[in-house]
Each structure stands twice: as C-alpha cells, then as structure tokens.
Amino acid sequence: KATCHNKNLINCFDFHPEENTTVKNNGNMRTGVGLLFWVITGLDFVVCVLQVFNDPIHGHMELHPLLVKIIDTPQFQRLRNIKQLGGAYFVYPGASHNRFEHSIGVAHLAGQLGQALKTKQPGLNITNRDILCVQIAGLCHDLGHGPFSHLFDAMFIPRARPDMREWKHETASLAMFDHLVESNGLEVVMEQYGLIPSEDLTFIKEMIHTDNNNDQESPQWPYEGRTEDKSFLYEIVSNKENGIDVDKFDYFARDCYHLGVQINFDYRRFLKFARVCEVDGRKHICVRDKEEDNMTEMFHTRLCLHRRAYQHKVTKIIETMITDAFLKADSVENNESTITIYKAIDGKTESTEKKTFRLSKAIDDMEAYTKLTDAVFEQILNSTSEGLKDARHILRRIITRKLYRFLGETRLDDPTEIKKLDTIKMDYGMKREDPIDHLYFYSKHNTTRAFKRKRCQVSRIRPTCFSERLVRFVCKKTDLKADPKADPRAEFKKWCKAKGFPEYQVIFINKLLNI
C-alpha cells in the first residue's frame, strides 16, 4: 500500500508489495518486501508503505510508518518491560503480556474504527490526518505507566509521595509523549507525513488525557485540537461519555486470552454497527439498538476481570508486598535501585553531570523515568546492599511463596461508613450507575436519530446494583500459630462485629494489624 501527497507524481512508481523492493534513498540502499518506507527528498511527497505486525489477538496489523517511527524509540520500547497486569503474573502464569503489545493493539483498533466511520459516513469529513492522529493517541496513551502498571500510580506513589496523591499515569503519558517527540526529532517527520504539529500534537494529547472534568458536558467546546463538529473523535481512544473505547476493546480481549478466561463480548460487532449521530449539537458515536446485550456483556466482562484477576485476593497481596518493598528501597539514598542518568550541562553533550533519582522521584524527570521498568524488582532482589536488606527480604518472600496471610473480607453497603481504609472497588465502569444508561443507540429505521434506553425498556432480568466495595484483611506474618496470644482472625471477626459488618471470605487494609 502506498500513498502520495502529490497526485501529479503518484504514477511515477509501481509498487508490488508481494515482490522484493530495493530503493535508493540519499545513497543508502534499503531492501524489503513492500513493508518498508522511505522519504524521497527534493520532491513534494512521501511514499508510505505500511508495516505488518502479527498479533495473536488481532492477526495481521498494518501500521503507518510514522507509528513505526514512534515504536522504534527508547520511550516506547520501554513498555516491553512493564507487565500489563502487574502482580497478576505471579498468580496467572500466562499473564506475561506487556504494555508494548497492548498499545500497538489500541493503535490498530483506533485506525479500524476511524476508517469504518469514514467509509460509512463520508459526510463526517474524517481525514487520513485525523485517523493518523487518533492512532498515535492510541499508541501513546500508556507511555506513562510505571513498574507493574497500576501498582505504581495507584499504590506506590500515593504512599511514597503524599504530595502527589493525585498523580496518575495519564499525567506521565503526556510528559513522556512530549519527551519522545522532542528527543527523537519527530516533529519534522510528522510534517513529512502531512501532520501539522502546532495543531495535531495538541489534539493527540487531548485524546490521551485532559485535566478538565466532564469535558463532554460543558456547554462550551473545551478542546483546541479539533473543532466541535469532530467531537466524536475524542470518544475513540478514551471515551469519557460512557467508557466504550478501543482501549478496553484491546485489553479485554488480550487479558482474557492470556489469563485463559472466556470472553463473550465481541468488539468486532461494535466496529460493524457504530455510527455517528448528533445529540444536542454534538456528535457522538452510537451503536445499533440490537447491540444492547453485546454492550452489556462488555461491562460485565470488565467486572468479571476485576473479580477474577485484577482484584484477585492473592494478586493484591503480592502487589501490596511489592509496594512495601519499593517503599523500603525508596527510603534508602544511593542504593542499587536508584536510577542514574547523565544530563548535559548547558546543552553541551560533551559536558555532563551524573544525577540519581529514587524510585518515587523518577516521575519528575522523563529521562530518568524512561529507565524505570519492572526490572527494578530484579535489581532489588539481586542486590547486595545492606540498605536494601528489608526490601530484598520481602521480594524473596514473594519468590518463595511466603506471602502475607489472607484473613478475610467484608462488604461495605455504604462507602462513607468507614474512612482512612483502602477499599476494593467493583463496578461496571460508571460507579453506581448503569453504563447502558449513558449509551446512545440508533435504529435501522432511522440511522441519524440517537436515543437512550428508557428504564421501562430495559429487561427485568438485568442487574439493578452496579457497584460494591470490599475491605480485605491480611496479616504480614506467615505462621499465625507462632504467637498463641495473637489471633488475627479473631481480631478480624471482632472488628466486623463491632462495625456491624458481615464476614466474608475475600482484600486488605495496609498495616491494619501491627503484627
């Protein structure tokens, strides 16, 4: 496949992707099988040959050469070493996949959905430039994840940096994306492929994350990258309207595949039946009314994955232990877990100074953060530093399966009943609300009018409660019988009885029991 930005010259080349192709570019010979790309200088166009990636979830994925340029950077390659499911790999042996392949999958699906809407509705004026920007946003949306993914920003940073409790990986994704573009000189490459960096970089970052809350509900258009007539583009990668986006499409399918869990939701049907309709002056992505059950299954899949894997009691215990180890390592200056970089002084590469960052401080410098991956686990585990003795001991307990002991769990009917406790949240994605109530449908009789389901139209066998909170208890001692005077299980039962909570067997409160 080849595209040319100068139609007068498009017939100058005859491409046969199935044949070997050799091209001379600036004196360099490059040989491939129709999968390489090159920039011909001195002419008014860029030849694009899509590169094929073989994926176990989506099959053969064809990616634009600009996406390949981004993939081939240290900032993106870093995602090869960050587990998608964090500590779940210690529970599910197949959950070894990383953020790297997930991000490529999201870029692929973003392109598929964008192209499907463009083909079905030419009046939307979706350009190839729009689709490429959406794909870049999908590719780069997880650049900011730290070691073991959500463990880092949800469990470690809030305790290591109380002043940064609101810090999320999306915030780091924006900073890392800026660092990626600047350090690799990609603005020039983007221009060569028809993008306008002054507009499109803003658009891409707005799709990755925005600090504005309820952007879509604002009476005034809150974005700068694209005008309001293309509001639907902001719902492809990260949908704040109802949570249905290609990010979830990929990680649901990918996580279920690697966990060995059956999935009933079929994202391909959404791609087939998605259309854009106008609602109150704004355009939204809608789906056929007959797809209600399929979309309900999507949100149920989310809940099942949280119950069976993401919030699995042993997964959370192991992630608590990793967090405790990281906190102990973080409190020691200049140890084997610190990140060392060499910064240029006054912009002169030949003059550098050595700078070290503790784990919790690496988020302040993207060059240091680029070096922070899951490998820090092994660095601590194999260290010989006396200062890392306590952290090393905790990680060795994980390896030898001497885990914190699970005592039990209780369910909270009202999350405000108890404060200063870490609770486990289980829901369908919209807290206490039914996410289907936020989804727009259209019918085959009128594909331009969007509507929401009325409560009287919803099946009576659908659930009426969509969220719950759990409190789990663990003991950091492995042998509960070692001290006959201390009975953690009895303490747990006594606590539940005093609070009027029922006893269930299921996570934890950090340091609830000081034993």
Residues annotated catalytic, as ranges: 169
Cα 75 to Cα 89: distance, rounded to the nearest angstrom:
23
**3-state secondary structure labels for all residues of 68-123:** HHHHCCHHHHHHHHCECCHHHHHCCCCCCCEHHHHHHHHHHHHHHHHHHHHHHCHH
Residue 228 tokens, joined: 């309001």
CB 442 within 8 A of CB 383: no
Q: CA-CA distances (angstroms) from residue 264 to 102, 110, 250, 353, 403? A: 20, 21, 14, 55, 34
* Token output for 257: 């595949």
- Cβ(304)–Cβ(261) below 8 Å: yes
Q: Decide if 244 contacts 270 (C-beta within 8 A).
A: yes
Number of Cβ within a 10 Å radius of residue 263: 17
CA-angle at 68, arms to 124 and 208, nearest 5°:
55
Q: Show the tokens assigned to 307.
A: 């119950």
Question: The tokens of 405 are what?
Answer: 């002991």
CA distance linking residue 233 with residue 137, whole number of Å: 11
Task: Give the closest residue to 359 by CA, choosing from 394, 322, 386.
Answer: 322
